[in-house]
Structure 1
């Protein structure tokens, strides 16, 4: 009798801590959205790689950053078919645990690599527009290569713990490939995930916002790009400002909702484990649904990067090529910026 009572108590405690979710929607949402990202993103990024590798004679700093960003997006996209199959088969991982670790590692490494290279591109353009003379000494292809190596090293180092946290577990007749980690390691994973979100998303996001804000203010100055009263230069300047706003908006729409909802879900899950009375099952389920809905938004960024940044580069070149410097030094600055941005 005592054993039966203990069993009932354990089951009750388990149900208090772990809430059963109705998440059948993700078995349609994630495979469909990831499939669209795979098809569209692969076509756009392979085209971008072809143009950069085979059609670009001289690699400028912006070309180097764009190449690395495109590589991140392409490698990220190549992990999607395995996740499409996994979620379409309703969380039944058909491969080994080491392969689960590799897929999760590549997924997040290339996601955060894209964020950091977006930050590098933003900094590069910020320096070129706001400090055109100084940028002659600050920006070079060699420096861009060193920065790119540093970014890859940072990404690989910071994402290496994923290889430890990612696990598989057999539940009934299915094998789960955890997106986070096994329940017994979740507390440690929460600390790691929080640190990564701050270092590899929050800080780069703040840098991007500051850079674009200062760039917009600079471009909106009355004398910028309007020497000689050129109507075409003024229109191009306005178009450049709009492009900066669009890029910033896309960054916010793709990555910000994903990280906010994920942080909320992880926090609610932790609080639920500490004290089940703090967070209701309904609130925990709502945060989980929001997190899964925003995951395709983060993936969609790999489709937008080639389009927006090629357009932004074209706009910057058009704008600066129509400027009329009044001295030999300003002409040299204009020519450099026209080719570098």
Structure 2
């Protein structure tokens, strides 16, 4: 796209909206994902296969949250990448790794819950810690290989609205044909397949729980609410982004209208920021709602409080000991002085 008077790239929205959203996500996501990692580690030690998937999910979210300061700087300067090109590649790589490892592990969690509740006596080997570790390693390897294309190609570009003299990181517009094809593959394998798996699994789980006479109404209500929250969270975080990405991938390679290209890019950037909310939703829905996880967190808090109290007690004891030692020394000194005085007299 050449320099055109119709191309007016206003970066005001980028400068204020994205840093605000990313800052909120970063401040909440980092501590709660660290807690989620701790809780899932305990579950893995107990040979709970679900803990392996939750650990990987929390790790992916945490890695993305840790690079958000770079995207905050990028957005604050109006989509102008001022850092090195290699840092842009690493940031984009971790961002897409988060998107698609997250959807993959969410699908794995759904399948695990489906097998546990719908077919509790079948396919037991699929619900072992060993099998979940193998699946997790395969997911990380496949996503790393596929997204490594980001580390090969040049990922910084001049803004097509070239009067701004900005440098874009990764998300070039208009998209080239190879980028559009790669995005179509991502949409199908990284979004649609996990979405179908999640909807199928939770629909079957809901049916089993609904018609189970042994489950009380209160428990049925909790399960229904949790399933709804998980499904809505997935759809809200990932659907707008992938819908816009689909439109971009179809239209942009054959479109030359600068206004349309800029509009699609702006909407795309907003939906991209929306996906970061997934880093908050994941630990809350998959870790903190679990009764065993809440127990582990309370035990951690109690342990921290006990250690702090012990340290405070030690400080007090040391202070009392120092004070007592000092008083003893003063008394001893005074006694020796009085004895010396009596001798002299």
Give the TM-score normalised by the residue count of structure 1: 0.77
Using the TM superposition, give the Cα deviation of residue 205 of structure 1 relative to its aligned residue in structure 2, in angstroms: 1.1
- The 5 Å alignment of 1:307-326 reads 307-314=284-291
Match of 1:209 in 2: 199
Using the TM superposition, give the Cα deviation of residue 160 of structure 1 relative to its aligned residue in structure 2, in angstroms: 1.2
Asked if residue 130 in structure 1 is aligned to residue 118 in structure 2, the reply is yes
Using the TM superposition, give the Cα deviation of residue 63 of structure 1 relative to its aligned residue in structure 2, in angstroms: 0.5
Instruction: Give unpaired runs (5+ residues) of structure 2.
Output: 295-345
Name which of 250, 256, 266 aligns with 2:233.
250
Aligned residues: 291
Match of 2:168 in 1: 177
- The 5 Å alignment of 1:209-228 reads 209-223=199-213, 225-226=214-215
Using the TM superposition, give the Cα deviation of residue 69 of structure 1 relative to its aligned residue in structure 2, in angstroms: 0.4
Using the TM superposition, give the Cα deviation of residue 53 of structure 1 relative to its aligned residue in structure 2, in angstroms: 3.1
Distance 1:282 1:94, change over 3 A: closer
Equivalent-residue separation in structure 2 for 1:208 and 1:55 (angstroms): 22
The answer as to whether partners of 1:93 and 1:174 remain within 8 angstroms in 2 is no
Asked if residue 46 in structure 1 is aligned to residue 34 in structure 2, the reply is yes
Equivalent-residue separation in structure 2 for 1:32 and 1:65 (angstroms): 30
Match of 2:265 in 1: 288
Asked if residue 139 in structure 1 is aligned to residue 122 in structure 2, the reply is no
Asked if residue 239 in structure 1 is aligned to residue 214 in structure 2, the reply is no
Using the TM superposition, give the Cα deviation of residue 266 of structure 1 relative to its aligned residue in structure 2, in angstroms: 3.5
Give the match's secondary structure for 1:177.
strand
Equivalent-residue separation in structure 2 for 1:104 and 1:165 (angstroms): 12
Match of 1:156 in 2: 144
RMSD in angstroms over aligned alpha carbons? 2.7
The answer as to whether partners of 1:112 and 1:200 remain within 8 angstroms in 2 is yes
- Which range is displaced more, 155-164 or 298-307? 155-164
Using the TM superposition, give the Cα deviation of residue 118 of structure 1 relative to its aligned residue in structure 2, in angstroms: 0.6
Asked if residue 66 in structure 1 is aligned to residue 43 in structure 2, the reply is no
Equivalent-residue separation in structure 1 for 2:220 and 2:231 (angstroms): 17
The answer as to whether partners of 1:219 and 1:237 remain within 8 angstroms in 2 is yes
Asked if residue 271 in structure 1 is aligned to residue 262 in structure 2, the reply is no
The answer as to whether partners of 1:236 and 1:315 remain within 8 angstroms in 2 is no
The answer as to whether partners of 2:79 and 2:168 remain within 8 angstroms in 1 is yes
Give the match's secondary structure for 1:25.
helix
Name which of 166, 169, 186 aligns with 2:176.
186
Equivalent-residue separation in structure 1 for 2:146 and 2:140 (angstroms): 10
Distance 1:197 1:308, change over 3 A: same
Match of 2:187 in 1: 197
Match of 1:79 in 2: 67
The answer as to whether partners of 1:119 and 1:205 remain within 8 angstroms in 2 is yes
Using the TM superposition, give the Cα deviation of residue 143 of structure 1 relative to its aligned residue in structure 2, in angstroms: 0.2
Distance 1:166 1:131, change over 3 A: farther
